[in-house]
């Protein structure tokens, strides 16, 4: 009872820096009895492992082919867009949203955004903070404003691993998710949301989603680590959109 995913809407393939193809992820999702799976490769603004915009038609063809080939699972084309711009704009442009069934987003190192010099400074400060476990109030405020602006400016389905690579005011972020109807990810790959953070988020009228963030096909549909935190936090299963 309540021990596995109904669907997994956070998986990566070789289009970014995953290790399997679209079909590899689909086959694993079918093997695990998932109703649907989303291919959410990293957005094109990531200079290390974002997919190339010119690959979008090929990605769509691959996914359309999977939906024709397998009638027992729905395959969605999505993207894990990068949050980096203070304006709230993602590395997926507003006119590009039409290419995707939905968009998920999170903050990652490796994107330059509207002001490359400012972005590099921000990444450096956040990277140092993750290593020293010290973030200044000014940096937390900057990170928070960036995430909240992106939530309000875009139709983001899921906020992925909030606070993982840059500390934020989680109450402000959770409030913005409540206002925008954005789901909060409980990641099986990252430590976010932690047990304490889940309990904080439970105070808000938000829904949660389990995400494998699979980078190899074998991890598609995996949620045991995330579920352990869910149980410890006491989160009601009914608030998790993909739990059965």
Mean pLDDT of each 10-residue bin along the chain, 244 residues long: 87 96 98 98 91 95 98 98 92 95 95 89 93 94 96 97 94 98 97 97 98 98 97 96 94
- Residue 207 lies inside a defined structural domain of this protein: yes
Cβ neighbourhood burial of 212 (10 Å; 0-12, 13-18, 19+):
buried
| Domain ranges, residue 127 | 7-239
Yes or no: say if 9 and 242 are a contact pair by the CB < 8 Å rule.
yes
- Residue 200 lies inside a defined structural domain of this protein: yes
- Residue 162 lies inside a defined structural domain of this protein: yes
- What DSSP string runs through 167-205? ---HHHHHHHHHHHTPEEEEESSS-PSPHHHHHHHTTSS
Tens-place pLDDT, residues 157-207: 999 999 999 999 999 999 999 999 999 999 999 999 999 999 999 999 999
- Residue 123 lies inside a defined structural domain of this protein: yes
CATH for 85: 3.20.20.140
Tens-place pLDDT, residues 46-59: 988 899 999 999 99
- Residue 244 lies inside a defined structural domain of this protein: no
Q: Which pTM was predicted?
A: 0.95
Domain tally, the chain: 1
pLDDT given at position 110: 86
């Amino acid at each position: 009872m309540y021990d596995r995913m109904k669907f997994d809407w956070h998986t990566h393939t070789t289009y970014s820096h995953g290790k399997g193809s679209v079909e590899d992820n689909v086959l694993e999702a079918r093997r695990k009895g998932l109703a649907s799976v989303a291919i959410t490769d990293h957005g094109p603004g990531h200079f290390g492992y974002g997919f190339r915009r010119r690959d979008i038609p090929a990605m769509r063809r691959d996914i359309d082919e999977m939906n024709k080939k397998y009638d027992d699972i729905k395959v969605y084309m999505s993207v894990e867009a990068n949050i980096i711009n203070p304006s709230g704009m993602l590395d997926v442009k507003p006119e590009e949203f039409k290419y995707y069934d939905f968009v998920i987003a999170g903050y990652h190192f490796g994107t330059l955004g509207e002001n490359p010099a400012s972005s590099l400074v921000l990444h450096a400060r956040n990277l140092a903070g993750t290593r020293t476990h010290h973030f200044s109030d000014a940096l937390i405020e900057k990170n928070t404003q960036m995430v909240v602006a992106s939530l309000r400016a875009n139709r983001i389905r899921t906020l992925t691993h909030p606070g993982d690579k840059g500390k934020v005011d989680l109450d402000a972020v959770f409030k913005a998710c409540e206002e925008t109807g954005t789901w909060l990810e409980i990641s099986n790959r990252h430590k976010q949301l932690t047990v304490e953070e889940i309990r904080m988020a439970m105070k808000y009228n938000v829904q949660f989603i389990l995400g494998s963030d699979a980078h190899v096909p074998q991890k598609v549909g995996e949620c045991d680590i995330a579920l352990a935190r869910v149980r410890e936090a006491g989160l009601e299963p009914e608030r998790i959109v993909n739990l059965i």
